[in-house]
Amino acid sequence: MRILLAKCPRAHVSHFEENSESLALGYLGAALREHDHEIELLDASLTGLSLSETADKILQGEYDILGFTLADPTFIESTFKVISTLRDNGTKSHIIMGGHSPTFHYREILQMSPGLDSVAMYEGEGTIVELANHLEQGKDWHGIRGLAYRSNNGAECNAPRPLIRNLDDLSFPVRDTLPFLMEHKKETGVVSMAGGRGCYANCGFCSIKAFCSVPGGPSWRLRSNQDIVEEMEYLVKAYGVKEILFIDDVFVGPGQESIERISELADEIEKRKLKVMLSVSERVDNIDEGLFRRLREVGLRQVLLGAESGDQQILDYLGKGITPEQIRRAVDTLQGLDIDISLAFINFTPITRLEQLIENLRFFTGLKLNVLQGMLNRFQIYEGTPLAQKLNSAGLVKGKFPNLYYVSADRRVDVVYEIVQNSFGTFLSVAYELKKLERLLRIRLFEAEAGETYAEAALIKRERIRYQKMMNKIMKEAEELFLEVVNFVLVSGVRKNGNIESFTDRMMQASANSHKEWMRLIQFFRNLSPVLGFPESSRGGKSTQQRRRGINSVRP
């Protein structure tokens, strides 16, 4: 069978730039190739194709099956449009879609997208291979486990396919889009890997537990260390990869057993002499200083911490099972180890009161991290999550999929959200620019340390201090702007009137001014820096040693 696996671009322009491959497409592609099907990957989100370019590209080929992944609900509208265009132009292929949203909303998805033939629910590898085999052999595919499809009753859903028991049995994901990433996304592109699937924790906003438990679990599966390092080594040797991001929600996990497992992984990375910079995600209660010191020795330079809130009541509501003190301690530990931190939090939740919003803001800005994105994060309702069920049963969920929303208990919080949402957009791009800058410094420092070019490392460290100063100042300014919004709502209340509109306009202007000034300064710093350019050599060309020789050769 000839199969195209695709990811469409988002429907709306976003500050968020796609910077890694779709592992979903990669794993599905690997499973299909293993069964001798001919596959192509089209990651239009990564390559920057428009909707019409995506449809045109697909129409140029002839495929028996078209498989679309929906990474999150922001891809729904665009994917539906592409499918509709394909059908309008006579595409006869079997069209299937997979992902979390299609799994939990297969009925609505099939109804909203008449061009779609089926939905692969839960893990898709076994299902898509069986579908391809059935279609190839001319067999009826409607009984395949894990599939949902359109019927006279609207939609039918077969029994879920059990989860893959041993993840080591999976082939490594195909990396057809990796050369594009390395060639065209030098500044932001990062190669991703999965050390496992699922998560053991019980966060109320996350659907992964339901995604794993409905097919029979377990909720958290891990690859063996051997298998993980094999793939790392393959990426380094075959593609010259120098940086790997582990996409697992939790990389280490809880308890002594997890510490020992990851210590052994570190030993294996060291044994194979893999010089690769690593980024992982972890819960704050799993940050063990000894383990993370060891991980730093073998390349770890960034950790994404899921903090979610600085308020205990909200942390409990979100089912995080952590305390603000644990968040502080984890941040202190990682900062002490000189590991960069990216902090995820949800500033706006259904129970957040205005006073908590102020305290939460102070808590996060007090951590001296780039938290601008988190300031604007609002709790999203995802089907299959404990909190969605809770809100549903309380009759608090409004709208229709995919536009579900809720009204906060404290209406003033919704007004604050509306104002910052409308006015902070341009300022947010400063946060992304800072993230890029931080990443460039991280890469440069890692290369300098790995190459033992200590003079260059010292120079980069000095630039990092300057970056830190600038980032702190920008966060302070963002905090002040945010507090101005909160104070406005405190005084004026929730009534919609011309005051809110003119205040929003004023905040938009203030945000735009800040954006203009900071972007200019960031650009100014970058242009002055000897270490922040991203020359052609950044991946596989001129080495750090060579760059250093370039600098030293003209040093008086």
Partner 1 sequence: MSDRKTINVVNEDTFEAILTRLIDDREFRQAFFEDPETATEKLGIHITPEELATYMDVVQSRIEGGNVSFVEGLVLCSSSGY
Pick between residue 2 and residue 435 the one whose CB is nearest to partner 1: 435
The yes or no reply on residue 520 touching partner 1 (CB under 8 A) is yes
Q: How far is the CB of 492 from partner 1 (least distance, A)?
A: 27
Residues 490-519 that bind partner 1 (CB under 8 A): 517
- Say how far apart CA 351 and CA 308 lie, in whole Å: 14
- For residues 200 and 534, which CB has a smaller minimum distance to partner 1 in the complex? 534
| Element spanning 304, H or E | strand 300-308
Count of residues in the chain:
556
Q: How far is CA 386 from CA 203, 205, 284, in A?
A: 8, 7, 21
Within residues 24-53, the interface with partner 1 by CB under 8 A covers: none
- Smaller CB distance to partner 1: residue 405 or 524? 524
390/435 with CB nearer partner 1: 435
Phi, psi of 398 (to 5 degrees): -115, 165
236-244, 392-400, 414-422, 547-555 -> range binding partner 1 (CB under 8 A): 547-555
List the one residue from 273, 393, 498, 554 that touches partner 1 (CB under 8 A).
554
In this chain, which of 337, 450, 470, 490 binds partner 1, going by CB under 8 A? Answer: 470
Closer residue to partner 1 (CB): 235 or 459: 459
Distance of alpha carbon 485 from alpha carbon 358, whole angstroms: 11
Positions of E strands within 420-547: none
Among 82, 287, 327, 459, binds partner 1 (CB under 8 A): 459
Measured between alpha carbons, how far is 253 from 285 in angstroms, rounded to an integer? 9
Tokens of 205: 């906003």
Pick from 285, 319, 284, 282: which is nearest to 302 by CA?
Answer: 282
| Residues 287 and 334 sit within 8 Å (Cβ to Cβ) | yes
* Rounded least distance, CB 249 to partner 1, Å: 35
| Beta carbon nearer to partner 1, 239 or 525 | 525
Minimum CB distance to partner 1, residue 556 (Å):
6
Q: Rule CB under 8 A: is residue 445 a binding residue for partner 1? A: no
How far is C-alpha 54 from the chain's CA centre?
22
In the complex, the smallest distance separating the C-beta of residue 15 from partner 1, rounded to whole angstroms, is 22
Region for residue 48 given its phi and psi (left: phi exceeds 0; alpha: psi -120 to 50; beta: otherwise): left
Q: Does 473 contact partner 1 by CB under 8 A?
A: yes
CB nearer to partner 1: pick between 393 and 553 = 553
Stretch that binds partner 1, among 4-12, 214-222, 343-351, 468-476 (CB under 8 A): 468-476
Query: How far apart (Å, rounded) are the C-alpha atoms in residues 481 and 423?
Result: 10
Least distance between partner 1 and beta carbon 446 (Å)? 20
Nearer to partner 1, 115 or 530 (CB): 530
Residue 178 or 478 having the CB closest to partner 1: 478
Beta carbons of 120 and 128 less than 8 angstroms apart = yes
Residue 549, C-beta contacts closer than 8 angstroms, at least 6 positions apart:
none
- In the bound state with partner 1, the residue whose beta carbon lies nearer, of 454 and 524, is 524
Mask: binding to partner 1, 408-437, rule CB under 8 A, as x and -? ------------------------------
Nearest to 365 by CA among 472, 287, 453: 472
Q: Does residue 527 touch partner 1 according to CB under 8 A?
A: yes
Cβ atoms within 10 Å of 3's Cβ, excluding its own: 25
Structure tokens that stand for 245 in this block: 């991001």
Contact flag: residue 529 with partner 1 (CB under 8 A): yes
Binding of partner 1 at residue 521 (CB under 8 A)?
A: yes
Give the closest residue to 61 by CA, choosing from 91, 26, 82: 91
540 binds partner 1 (CB under 8 A): no
Tell me if 20 sits within 8 A of 189, measured CB to CB: yes
What residue ranges bind partner 1 (CB under 8 A)? Answer: 459, 466, 469-470, 473, 517, 520-521, 523-525, 527-530, 533, 550-551, 553-556
